[in-house]
């Protein structure tokens, strides 16, 4: 059976959607192909997120911040679009072409809190919380499909 394609979308495509894409690519690559994009991408993966995922021995190969326009050309059939923030949910859902299934997960943006965090332990705590929330939602999603 062919792997299903999942596109994770958030506004900046620098943290939450990157975490979700990386979890799928590293843990569920035998069933799903994962991609991520942003409605207004920052152009780079957040350094704290990148370092956190590397510390978990996750491969970040081909993870980059990019606009979801790259996926509207229908070269890759997207089976599921999962928005991981309210802004992206409101921006993308009405205009996504040939949507098979759009799922919304309201996950708080860690970037603002990471900027305020004044030490590595606080940053790890913030990222642990977001990672665990996304990971749990992915496990539930994978078990349903």
User: What residues act catalytically?
Assistant: 10, 85, 93
Whether the CA torsion 49, 70, 90, 105 is positive or negative: it is negative
Torsion of Cα atoms, 63 then 64 then 70 then 74, to 10°: 0
Phi, psi of 81 (to 5 degrees): -110, 125
Residue pair 63/36 in contact (Cβ under 8 Å)? The answer is yes
Q: How many CB atoms sit inside 10 A of residue 21's CB?
A: 23
Closest CA to 83 of 68, 61, 70: 68
Strand partners, 38: 10, 67
Residue pair 115/49 in contact (Cβ under 8 Å)? The answer is no
């Amino acid at each position: 059976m062919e792997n299903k394609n999942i596109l994770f979308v958030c506004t900046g495509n620098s943290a939450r959607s990157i975490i979700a894409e990386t979890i799928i690519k590293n843990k569920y690559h035998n069933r799903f192909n994962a991609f991520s994009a942003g409605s207004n991408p920052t152009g780079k993966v957040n350094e704290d997120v990148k370092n956190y995922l590397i510390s978990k021995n996750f491969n970040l190969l081909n993870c980059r911040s990019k606009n979801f326009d790259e996926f509207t050309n229908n070269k890759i059939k997207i089976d599921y679009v999962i928005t991981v923030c309210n802004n992206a949910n409101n921006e993308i859902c009405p205009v996504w072409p040939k949507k098979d299934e759009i799922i919304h997960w309201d996950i708080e943006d860690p970037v603002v809190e990471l900027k305020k965090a004044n030490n590595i332990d606080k940053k790890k705590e913030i990222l642990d919380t977001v990672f665990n929330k996304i990971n749990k939602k992915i496990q539930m999603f994978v078990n349903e499909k």
